[in-house]
Amino acid sequence: MSLANAARVQRGSTPALDLRPLAATIGTLLAILGASMVLPALADLRAGVAGESAFVGSAAVTIFVGVLMIVSGRSAGPMRLDLRQAFLLTTSVWVVLALFAALPLAWGPSGLSPVKALFESMSGLTTTGASVMSGLDAMAPGVLLWRNMLHWFGGIGIVVIAIAVLPALSIGGMQLFRTESSDRSEKFLPRAGSVAKGLLAAYGVLTLLCAIGYGLAGMRPFDAVTLAMSTVSSGGFANSDSSLAVFANPAVDYVAIVFMLAAALPFPLYVRAFSGDVRKLFRNPEVRLFLGLVAVFTVASFLQQTFQGIASGEPALRGALFTVASLMSTTGFMAVDYTNWGPLSDAIFFIAMFLGGCTGSTSGGLKSLRILIALKAVRQHLKRISYRNGQFPIRYGGAPVSDDVVASVLGFIFLYVASFVVISVILSMLGLDLRTALSAAIACLANVGPGLGPLVGPASNYGGLSEPAIAVLTLAMLLGRLEIVTVLVLVVPRFWWR
């Protein structure tokens, strides 16, 4: 510790924030991101289309800045992050990577404005899948590959943060998902590195299986690989303006359903399943609740289609299951346009978007774990009212849940709903109608992608919105992906000067 920091500690003030570990980490990720831009450049070159120069130039700039940050952040000893550094790093990584990932979208043939290019790259890295780009059927393969690569990078990053960082930061009840319950240290980076290996293996295996499934269903190799990256990351970027509806293939729909649902389940349970403990996956109470909700919403949508004469039989069941799986997993693919099915359908799918998948998965939303804990807390409160002297501990997976975890979950749910309301009000003030404002707000906050209605629905995109609205929704995607608290705490003065 320096003399200046020691003096601050003696006076009771906060030591100066050391940014070197952050610079080194972000610089390393930037260098990897820049090197990966070579792949879409090669895809364009192989296809004989213009645009590879945008990826080459973006790669050069990104790698150069990354190397500079690595050099500036180099230190003699091993890197260790305290609480403030961990919060700042978690948000900074997504912001900085999204800025540099937007370069080829702004400099390339797509010619997006800086605001729209950042929206597209943020949507990719946060696996939201909302897009401002149209004409995808004739788009250069490099751009299509790059969008789905961003999904894949963001997906594994989300899983690692959800398992290795957020539980240690005690955000939204994520303490229950702590993989090393005895580890109370603040050494975030070493722990993230050790956890990432098994998760990356599970992530890679699911991606490979999904690509094989799409290939067997009749997709050409390019579509199979890129859409597998989008599916397993719960992203939703497709290679056509019509999403997966362009294939009009039931086999493709069923492959997508299986892997959208698989991506919404906790990835640490896959690590255990691959080691032989398969029963653990389906005995998990959060997994059971998630799959139960999928079944309920699917039946409700199927019955609505049948009684209203929209569809019947297997097509109705497949359309309902696909749509519910897409929205609950927050993937956002479209096989059928569900926006004209009526108010009941809007209500079902709006709730599905709000809830999301499981913790420790690539999906977004409120998460089934928090829903389960909140329901248990309500039941506990009702029992305490009925039996004043009774003891009714909340349990999850057979283990008791502490009051601070319950408070964390309820606090997160309040922030989630409050953020949704604020974003919806701002969008309404920017001129959007109520249906569009509400659905766009939750679609981006929950990282779903498509909303409801003709402007942001699955048959359209966000390109018709004003740039102020697009900027607000870009922030919403970041808030939702990083569990809100991680971002909001950075604007609290007490966090920096405690």
* Annotated binding residues for K(+): 127-128, 235, 330-331, 447-448
Q: What is the C-alpha to C-alpha distance for residues 236 and 14, in angstroms, rounded to an integer?
A: 43
In three-state secondary structure terms, 400 is strand
In sequence order, which residues have a C-beta less than 8 Å from that of residue 17 and are 6 or more positions away?
A: 84, 85, 88, 496
- Neighbouring C-beta atoms of residue 378, cutoff 10 Å: 11
- Please report the DSSP string for 319-343 in residue order: HHHHHHHHHHTT----SS--TTS-H
d(CA 18, CA 15): 9
Burial of residue 330 (CB within 10 Å: 0-12, 13-18, 19+) is buried
SS3 411: helix
Q: What distance in Å separates the CA atoms of residue 477 and residue 442, rounded to the nearest whole number? A: 9
SS3 of residue 468 by DSSP: helix
Question: Which of the 8 DSSP states describes residue 132?
Answer: -
Q: CA–CA separation, 29 vs 69, rounded Å? A: 10
DSSP β-ladder status, 399-400 and 395-396: antiparallel
Residue list, annotated binding site: 127-128, 235, 330-331, 447-448
Give the other-Cβ count within 10 Å of 403's Cβ: 10
- Give the largest CA-CA distance in the chain: 77
Distance from C-alpha of 43 to C-alpha of 52, rounded to nearest angstrom? 8
Residue 200 burial (C-beta neighbours within 10 Å; 0-12, 13-18, 19+): middle
β-partners of residue 400 are 395
For residue 145, give both structure tokens: 């590959």
What backbone torsions phi and psi does residue 395 show, to the nearest 5 degrees?
A: -125, 145
What b-and-e string marks burial along 264-294, b requiring 16 or more CB atoms within 10 Å of the CB?
bbbbbbbbbbeeeeeebeeebebbebbbebb
Helix H or strand E segment including 61: helix 52-72
- Report how far Cα 152 is from the mean position of its chain's Cα atoms: 11
* DSSP line for 248-310: --HHHHHHHHHHHHHHTS-HHHHHHHHTT-THHHHH-HHHHHHHHHHHHHHHHHHHHHHHTTS
* Tokens standing for residue 21: 């570990």
Helix axes 141-160, 38-47, angle to 10 degrees: 160
Look-up: residue for tokens 């929209």? 310
Q: To the nearest 5 percent, what fractions of the chain are helix, strand and coil?
A: 70, 0, 30
